[in-house]
Amino acid sequence: MQIYISTTDGVPIYAQIVNQVKYLVASRRLKPGDELPPIRVLAERLVINPNTVARAYRELEQAGLVEKRRTAGTFVSDQGSPLARRERFRILGERVDSLLAEAGQMGISFDELSKLIEQRHTALQDLKPQRADHD
């Protein structure tokens, strides 16, 4: 699990950890049952206070995204799925907003953009390997 922190962007470090774990779960890079690094290990890796990592893990646990198992560690929970779905939609929503803004700046209409998206979608579908149906 790769977590990066910035000390210059004004976002508290614990919140950066929370946001990145949410993103990793939403993007399915972390799956239910995957173990998060122990608090001390992540703190050492990021060169931060272990209490900061503990605070992030507590927030993730309160949100239902992870669960602590006594003496076994902290794991992505199965109940995190609805939250992960909402997070995926939030992330994609931000990207759609950026795409719409960029298209507008380039003078591309919504209809033109929609056609482009449909063309790209069709092209990607054509590239997917055909699955044989087995009965």
Domain boundaries, the chain: 13-80, 82-127
Task: Spell 27-46 as b/e; 16+ CB within 10 A means b.
Answer: eeebebeeebbebeebbeeb
CA distance 109 to 104: 7
Residue 108 CA from chain centroid, whole number: 29
* Spatial contact of 91 and 25, defined as CB atoms under 8 Å apart: no
More confident residue, 21 or 28: 21
CA distance 135 to 130: 16
- Per-residue model confidence (pLDDT) at position 26: 82
More confident residue, 15 or 72: 15
CA distance 128 to 121: 11
pTM higher than the cut 0.75:
no
Question: Quick one: pLDDT band at residue 5, thresholds 50, 70, 90?
Answer: very high
Q: What is the CATH number of domain 13-80?
A: 1.10.10.10
* Spatial contact of 88 and 26, defined as CB atoms under 8 Å apart: yes
- Per-residue model confidence (pLDDT) at position 83: 63
Q: Which amino acid is at 17?
A: I
**Structure tokens belonging to residue 44:** 């050492």
- Per-residue model confidence (pLDDT) at position 81: 59
The 10 Å Cβ neighbour count of residue 52 is: 20
- Per-residue model confidence (pLDDT) at position 90: 80
